[in-house]
Amino acid sequence: MARVFNFSAGPSMLPEAVLEQAGAQITNFQDSGQSVMEMSHRSKVFAEIFDETKANLRAALNVPKTHEILFLQGGATMQFAAVPMNLTAGDRRRADYAITGSFSNLAYKEAQKFAFCNKACSSEDSNFSYIPEQSQLKLDPGVAYFYYCANNTIYGSEWPYVPETAVPLVSDMSSNILTREVDFDRHAVVFAGAQKNMAPAGVTVVIVRKDLPKALDGTPVMLDYQTMIKSDSMHNTPPCWSIYILGLTLKWMIRNGGIEGMAQLKQQRSSLVYDFIDNSDLFSGTVRRSDRSGMNITFTTGDESLDRKFVSDAESAGLVNLAGHRSVGGMRASMYNAMPIEGAAALVAFMKRFELSVKGVN
Ligand SMILES: Cc1ncc(COP(=O)(O)O)c(C=O)c1O
């Protein structure tokens, strides 16, 4: 079978050049006589992969010296606990949470085990179809941090602005990291699971301010940012293979214009699909236009059985994983950095054909 256009929300497509390079090196990395999967994480050859990957990530995202880059395990979900455990010791035991979808809700619930959390806003009243505006945020200047999920993978919305707050920001950027610049002067912690824009599942990128306070008493060592900062993510065995693939993906990204190139591609891909949806009599988007995600495009025909037919016909045409999340239904086209513009064009061409066939034209 030829390679398909895979619209999965994650794990998702990786650049073909990266897969080929990893394949070519799989049994013998750069004449070391070993696969990266077999190497000691403390060996010189792996140290080079690790250091280069970290340096390339620092350069790509313009991460200042005030912040450390960590390569951790446990997925983005583990950070839902790590964040409050590391940021709410001392007299700032409270945190503000913006609830704009499933993952921010999960993060809020987890954080409540360790800190006093306020809902600074919620778009649940309208099935998370929008991002609240700055004027709608209920901000408490005494909290340790303000938490938001920059891109809501399930509902298909993306913050069109960076919240203005008196306190540091914490952001889950799992589904839009490396697609836009990040202002690290305002973010104390940015984290992202790798399996959408960076690498296979296994590594979680966590970028933290180095001068964070001591973690809460009783914080497990694997969740303690200071331990991981001191050991350069090597308190135990790091996810070596995923870090290596992240390194290859970053080099691919640099060859393709870096963040700016990725941001342009994101804009081109998503406007192709949104423009078609906006002019279609059959399909409609599910998110307020100003807040639509550049990565996860959610849409529906309004008829569940037609939606199911769309997903299954698309699969037969080589466009796979277009079903919406099981909790939402409809369709979702996830197009991360590795999705070529041809994938978006093929999706639009298929949507056109489908619409015509429903109208009985074909
Ligand atoms: C925005 C966001 N946050 C968190 C998660 C959970 O990530 P993980 O499975 O790495 O824990 C996901 C997974 O899709 C996500 O999209």
Give domain limits for the chain: 16-255, 258-358
What's 211's DSSP letter?
T
- Residue 351, C-beta contacts closer than 8 angstroms, at least 6 positions apart: 273, 276, 277, 280, 283
Q: Can you give the pLDDT at residue 361?
A: 75
The SS3 call for residue 251 is helix
DSSP letter (8 states) at residue 163: P
Residue from 97, 102, 105, 175 to probe ligand 1 pocket by mutation (most atoms less than 8 Å from CB): 175
Backbone angles phi, psi at 232, to 5 degrees: 50, 50
**73 burial class (0-12, 13-18, 19+ CB within 10 angstroms)?**
middle
The class that CATH gives domain 16-255 is alpha beta
Dig out the tokens for 138 from the structure: 């209920």
CB 328: neighbour CB atoms within 10 A? 19
CATH 1.10.3720.10 fits 258-358, yes or no: no
In short, whether 153's Cβ falls inside 6 Å of ligand 1 is yes
Q: Are 213 and 89 in contact (CB under 8 A)?
A: yes
Q: Are 146 and 87 in contact (CB under 8 A)?
A: no
Distance from C-alpha of 332 to C-alpha of 322, rounded to nearest angstrom = 5
Three-class SS state of 4: coil
Q: Which two tokens stand for residue 92?
A: 């700032």
Do 16-255 and 258-358 show the same overall fold? no
The confidence score (pLDDT) of residue 362 equals 62
Q: How far is the CA of 155 from the centre of ligand 1 (A)?
A: 13
N-term to C-term CA, the chain: 27
Residue 117: per-residue pLDDT: 97
Query: How far are the Cα atoms of 185, 200, 248, 262 from residue 241, in angstroms, in the given order?
Result: 31, 9, 11, 24
Q: Is 53 in the pocket of ligand 1 (CB under 6 A)?
A: no
pLDDT (tens place) for every residue of the chain, 362 residues total: 889 999 999 999 999 999 999 999 999 999 999 999 999 999 999 999 999 999 999 999 999 999 999 999 999 999 999 999 999 998 889 999 999 999 999 999 999 999 999 999 999 999 999 999 999 999 999 999 999 999 999 999 999 999 999 999 999 999 999 999 999 999 999 999 999 999 999 999 999 999 998 999 999 999 999 999 999 999 999 999 999 999 999 999 999 999 999 999 999 999 999 999 999 999 999 999 999 999 999 999 999 999 999 999 999 999 999 999 988 899 999 999 999 999 999 999 999 999 999 988 76
d(Cα 87, Cα 71) in Å, to the nearest integer? 19
Distance in Å, CA 119 to ligand 1 centroid: 20
Q: Any bridge partners for residue 296, and if so which?
A: 334
- Residue 159 CA to residue 157 CA, distance in Å, equals 7
Instruction: State whether the beta carbon of 172 lies less than 6 angstroms from ligand 1.
Output: yes
The CB of 77 under 6 Å from ligand 1? The reply is yes
Taking the C-alpha atoms of residue 74 and residue 78, their distance in angstroms, rounded to an integer, is 5
Q: Helix (H, G, I), strand (E, B), or coil: what is residue 17? A: helix
Answer whether 132 contacts ligand 1 (Cβ < 6 A): no
